[in-house]
Amino acid sequence: MTSLAESWGTLDQVRVRVPAKINLALCVGGRRPDGYHELATIFHAVSIYDEVTAISAPTGISCEVNGPLADRIGSMEDNLAYRAACLLRDEYGVSQGVHLTIDKRIPVAGGMAGGSADAAGALLACAHLWQVGANQQDLLALAARLGADVPFPLMGGCAVGLGRGETLTPALSRGVFHWVLAFAATGLATPDVFARFDQLAGTAKSRPARPEVPRALMMALVAGQTDRVGGLLVNDLQAAACSLNPALRATLAAGREAGALGAIVSGSGPTIAFLAADEPAATDLAVDLSSRGVAHEVRLATGPVPGATIMG
């Protein structure tokens, strides 16, 4: 496989655009010995993006976050993009430094893999900047070490995720899907949502040890049947997310009443994705939801879109 370093010259900075994700299906199985749950999910990359810029520095690694969501990011050492750069440096014995800047647009703790997207963007940008000779499979392996959601933003498109979500298989999907995304004012912590899921589910033995994504949904994606896709969206964590943030129930109901083909909490929430029939229907739905005041912010998006992409 061709390495990323082929034909590169000396670089001063590299800018990468990386997409958010929604989960069209999130099926949760039993708890594993390592404490995590076995998952089967369908990832779908959508046109909400962060941009990660890697700027050459003599030594050291630093990171800053810009944009309207910057004040919701923790310390530099807690930033997953910073940890990604450190991992790549250590793995390849890089002596050069880097300063990362993140233009933050993907919601924080919103169930859209915003932090994971930044880590994926940092891996690609630093690999390109430092010319380490890593190919995509190399970066995907490093991404899995950083977190279960980090590999997918590198891949993009549509994919089935197994294990904790880090074992990816590209999935066929025909056509363009139009989404209306309803953002909440505050986020939900993924561990809290899984803890509530366990409380609600109890010790039910009916949960499969190895869940599977719905075959009917996969077939609808391949056929590009938007209406069928809307009716088959499923998230086993949705009840837990709504239990922690009851206002989500009103948002879900409002979107359905306004004509959405499907409505689902993305991942561990609280972002809600509404599927519309086409672009005009999505615009009408967004206006309706905004007028009802049932979300902190409403944005339009399409998918699937490519994964992390070098912009310059």
| Distance between CA atoms of residues 189 and 204, nearest Å | 23
Q: Cβ(25)–Cβ(40) under 8 Å? A: yes
For residue 42, which of 214, 276, 270 has the smallest C-alpha distance? Answer: 214
DSSP lists the bridge partners of residue 51 as 17, 103
Q: Which residues contact 197 (CB under 8 A, 6 or more apart)?
A: 28, 236, 237, 239, 240
Pairwise CA distance, residues 79 & 74, whole Å: 7
Catalytic, out of 21, 103, 118, 138: 21
Tell me whether residue 21 is one of the annotated catalytic residues.
yes
Catalytic residue among 103, 118, 138, 149: 149
Helix (H) or strand (E) holding 263: strand 262-265
Burial class (CB in 10 A: 0-12, 13-18, 19+), 188: buried
**78 catalytic per annotation:** no
The total number of residues written for the chain in this structure = 312
Catalytic residues: 21, 149
